[in-house]
A and B are shown apart, each in its own frame.
Chain A
Amino acid sequence: MTGDDWQLMSFSARMAAASTLLILPPGVALAWLLARKNWRGKVVVETFVALPLVLPPVVTGLVLLKFFGRRGPVGHWLHDQLGLEIIFTWRAVVLALAVMSFPLLVRTLRAAIEEVNPSLEQMARTLGAGPWRVFFTITLPLAKRGLFAGTLLAFARALGEFGATIMVAGNIPGRTTTLAVSIYQSVELGEDSHALLLAGLSASLAFAALLAAGLLQGGKR
């Protein structure tokens, strides 16, 4: 393991953590809306959110590239109004990871919230608690294993993301190269033993995250 490998691992972990933190607030909100409310267009939103799970990741990457590129509708605005560059920067890494891991968080958490007995929430309401208080003191604590599991799954997915990342963030050593992208590049360069070392690292990280998620989701209280 060289210093570059450590940098790579820490960069990938930090990017995955940042994207997971970024999707937590909207993920929790959406999971609750999907689990507890009936609204027009719910099925459409649900399907839309699940898309990155089944689309080829490069397609997701392409869509992001078109939106966030300097000539894209969002990217153009960010560039002109805020001077923010997205594509080919670490922000693009976070963006790609966030979009790719969002469905895992939402789906896991939604299932957990659905399992919380609504009568407990109603009781709290009759005792005078407001909707926010009910959510944070009853619903979320009871769904906390789903929350942790979903968060870990999202984090693990983000760690392994390749297709969308390379489309929007490229492969700039020390700036946007993630573990997965570096494995690909090592193979391209014929450095197979380095690729295997990185693959081992990546597999251990993913295994740990998945194992933790499984224990939290399946374990008995």
Chain B
Amino acid sequence: MKYFGILPMALVALLLAARLQAAQITVFAAASLTDVLKQIGAGYEQSSTDRVAFNFAASGPLARQIEAGAPADLFISADEARADELAAKGLLVNGSRRSFLGNTLVIVTPPDNETIHLPADLTNATVKRIALGDPKSVPCGTYSREYFDQLGLWPAVAAKVIPCENVRSVLATVETGDVDAGIVYKTDAAVSKKVKVVYEVPAGEGPKITYPVALVSGSTQPEAGRQFLAYLSSPTAQKIFREAGFIVLVAPGAK
């Protein structure tokens, strides 16, 4: 009789071991990656025992959270500056950082707009409010400001700016119709049916937008993080990024 107990116990022990091996990977990622990363994370969970959790926000606040010791394994920023800040403080694992995605800025408006077609139209008196990411903490806002500076339009639009917390709140604000226009990434505009893309900044013009990803030094499970980082360059992940409108740059972790 007593031998019958061994099999179930062994099974339980195996299950427990599998449980213990399964890591919970925490990824701090730029708000513009919300939809694609959720999709990629779900795919990853089907091929691995590890779970992936995301913290989406503007890259500036994410960098502040990591500085404050937030338990992140990976950081994906929408600009190099935020990753540089963390790297300078020794908070990113040397050699793990790669810029793997690119993006494009677009001007979006509520669907009923008929007067805004070009960046210069934003200086018209009829355009009262323009939603941007807060240029101080939101990469998309920083890029938007750089772009206006390049065009020499910043002084004319500065007073109309409604600074938003992250790129998705810019999108949401344009959707409500409470502003006349906003600047988001092409990939954000693509997830909304309630905004109209009136202008896409042509490739080669405007600031170069790249997304660096890196392992966070404080990670307690760097191996699990490294695996997910490598997965981000898998054909499956790249296909999802491309379909969402991102520009896939180099493959992180690829040899």
Contacts and interface: CB of A to CB of B under 8 A. Distances in A.
Contacts of B179: 88
Contacts of B162: 88, 170, 172
A27 to B, nearest CB: 28
A73 to B, nearest CB: 13
Contact of B178 (A88, A173, A188, A189): A88
A171 interface: yes
Max chain B CB contacts within 10 Å: which of A171, A173, A188?
A188
Interface stretch (A47-55, A64-72, A120-128, A129-137): A64-72
A190 B67 contact: yes
Nearest to B134: A171
Interface string B55-79: 0001011011001000000000000
Contacts of A173: 163
A187 interface: yes
A188 B62 CA distance: 9
A71 B163 contact: no
Interface string A70-109: 1100000000000001011000000000000000000000
**6 tightest CB-CB pairs across the interface, nearest first?**
A87-B178, A188-B61, A71-B177, A190-B64, A70-B177, A69-B178
A85 B177 CA distance: 12
Interface string B168-192: 0000000011110000000000000
15 contacts: A69-B177, A70-B176, A87-B176, A87-B178, A88-B178, A170-B162, A170-B164, A171-B134, A172-B161, A172-B163, A185-B134, A187-B64, A188-B60, A188-B64, A189-B137
Contacts of B137: 185, 188-189
B193 interface: no
Interface in A169-194: 170-173, 185, 187-190
Interface of B: 58, 60-61, 63-64, 67, 128-129, 134, 136-137, 161-165, 176-179
A113 B134 CA distance: 47
Contacts of A70: 176-178
Interface of A: 65, 69-71, 85, 87-88, 170-173, 185, 187-190
A171 B64 contact: no
A196 to B, nearest CB: 14
Select the residue from B60, B134, B178 with max chain A CB neighbours within 10 A: B178
Contacts of A69: 176-178
Contacts of A171: 134, 163, 165
Interface centre among B67, B129, B161, by most A CB within 10 Å? B129
B142 to A, nearest CB: 12
Contacts of A190: 63-64, 67
A125 B227 CA distance: 83
Nearest to B67: A190
A189 B82 CA distance: 11
Contacts of B176: 65, 69-71, 87
A190 B89 CA distance: 14
Given A71-B177, A71-B178, 15 more contacts: A69-B178, A71-B176, A87-B178, A88-B162, A88-B179, A171-B163, A171-B165, A172-B161, A185-B137, A187-B64, A188-B64, A188-B137, A190-B63, A190-B64, A190-B67
A211 to B, nearest CB: 33
B61 to A, nearest CB: 5
Nearest to B169: A170
